[in-house]
Structure 1
């Protein structure tokens, strides 16, 4: 809120649009909604944000801890930034859908569904000025975390790659990510992100080639651009994120028919076919 005040924004003339459910984007949504803000969100992530305000949602992370074999790391859901910083009460969202329009002055923004980073991520495209606000769908230098959100959401890595390709041919002069810098050549960055995940898949296939691996052990064997030398030194939030990313790639290999999944004593194992 201090940052908003420093920008000199008139809060009486300010609406909030949440591109996706992550706490660094939605954390103040309930507070601002209670202050009278109109708060917009895509339907899927809006519903999920409100589920995340309940204890039942976070209790499922205990199941994932067992499935991923993270129990040995003494990790709990209360280590997760989403638990710490997400709204703690339901938000009265105005729910948005594909092709809905939001008009602000001379700008007419069209809602674009771009799930992958989260199940219901949305972006805004302004065709006349060739602007695209993409949240965390495309980032410069760093790669968006593609995680596992539950078996009901299917192959999230494939969903993400599909929605990178979806906006490839959009006529965009300026792509506005939610982190770091503006991107002026979105096609090159999309190609880089696709190539990154192809390399990641090769890496994961090599890890599970000789013997079956848990999600945790797969993540621990992957290369991460972090300041820590070994898995045991990773902070618990990073272990959650890395395991989710490993899981999305393992599940993608399963959907592609290149890997097989087994479960033993409540723990998942993956092996290359």
Structure 2
């Protein structure tokens, strides 16, 4: 899931460098050709960010599916309308990462066509564990996380009541998979795609680059106009997710600046190097603001208004807390601020 904050305004010459590809925007159950071998399609999402981009890649007589949509009846009905358009032949299912809008229908598609699921190992097993749920384990760590972030007792109680919804939007995940690893070349049809791994938004996010086509399927790792959520959650509250993201993002500047980027949200675009620079600047701008704001010592919750200018609903608050903590943990590990637990059990971050 993603934050929907727009990026800080850039000089006109920078903005003009990022251009959407001249592709027809696909409607429901419509396929928009990217080239002779790739189709772009979109599936609806029940969030502020109301769509996800999916891709079909010609693979012999059929097509490989790249990401799958959220696991709902609506998505299933749309897929059923798409299958006849590709001859009802699906060769494999490739998932960039374990978030439900990407993996939600993977099990359904893999089962229907009896084809393998391709993922990185970390993403596959984390998805399996999250869908399986706590299996009776207590939620004290979830509660402690929200206390540490400075949330109210009322918010914590409501939040804990709403746990367990992931199983409703992710179909049963196949019991086996084919592993994608950093640097490997994946042959799809007549073309080779290099696996590039991004981290921070998710643990081992797969991006695919085809040198012959000069196309990067970037998933959520590189998005136009919005930034992927970089979050620290109750499963690993002391993680340094932002450092992982900032470390794995610059590698994409080694690709040609002219690369056609096919992201999971918003429009396919060119201007890859500029967009990478914008995303790096976006996070460093947040860090600069937090260094100044935390001179007096602040909780995670107290920092959110300086990072997010809009009102946060409960759904967005979950991701905003994770994003805020990711930035504050980064400052802590950079020795730019201290992190102490106060008498109420809250983390207090104070600039050094």
What TM-score range do you get, normalising by the shorter chain? 0.7 to 0.9
Q: Which residue of 1 aligns with 2:266?
A: 180
CA distance, structure 1, for counterparts of residue 229 and residue 164 of structure 2: 14
Q: Which residue of 1 aligns with 2:240?
A: 155
Q: 1:42 aligns with which of 120, 127, 131?
A: 120
Q: Summarize deviations over 1:123-177 as a string: whole Å, max 9, x none.
A: 0111121111110001111111110145487421111111111111212520111
CA distance, structure 2, for counterparts of residue 248 and residue 11 of structure 1: 43
CA distance, structure 2, for counterparts of residue 81 and residue 19 of structure 1: 23
Q: Summarize deviations over 1:72-118 as a string: whole Å, max 9, x none.
A: 42441564797365536443322211122221222211111111211
Instruction: Check the 8 A contact 1:79/1:237 in 2, yes or no.
Output: no
1:164 aligns with 2:243: no
Instruction: Check the 8 A contact 1:138/1:177 in 2, yes or no.
Output: yes
Which structure: greater strand fraction?
2
CA distance, structure 1, for counterparts of residue 125 and residue 149 of structure 2: 26
Unaligned runs of 5+ in 2: 1-75
Which structure: greater helix fraction?
1
Instruction: Check the 8 A contact 1:138/1:190 in 2, yes or no.
Output: yes
Q: 1:24 aligns with which of 101, 111, 115?
A: 101
| TM-score, with length taken from structure 2 | 0.69
Structure (1 or 2) with the larger CA radius of gyration: 2
Unaligned runs of 5+ in 1: 229-233
Q: Which residue of 2 aligns with 1:231?
A: none
Q: Summarize deviations over 1:224-273 as a string: whole Å, max 9, x none.
A: 254x3xxxxx3211111100010000001011110111123543221111
Q: CA RMSD in A?
A: 2.5
| TM-score, with length taken from structure 1 | 0.87
Instruction: Check the 8 A contact 1:69/1:267 in 2, yes or no.
Output: yes
Instruction: Check the 8 A contact 2:239/2:326 in 1, yes or no.
Output: no
Instruction: Check the 8 A contact 1:112/1:124 in 2, yes or no.
Output: yes
CA distance, structure 1, for counterparts of residue 93 and residue 193 of structure 2: 14
| Secondary structure of residue in 1 paired with 2:270 | coil
1:64 aligns with 2:64: no
Q: Which residue of 1 aligns with 2:202?
A: 118
CA distance, structure 1, for counterparts of residue 290 and residue 168 of structure 2: 31
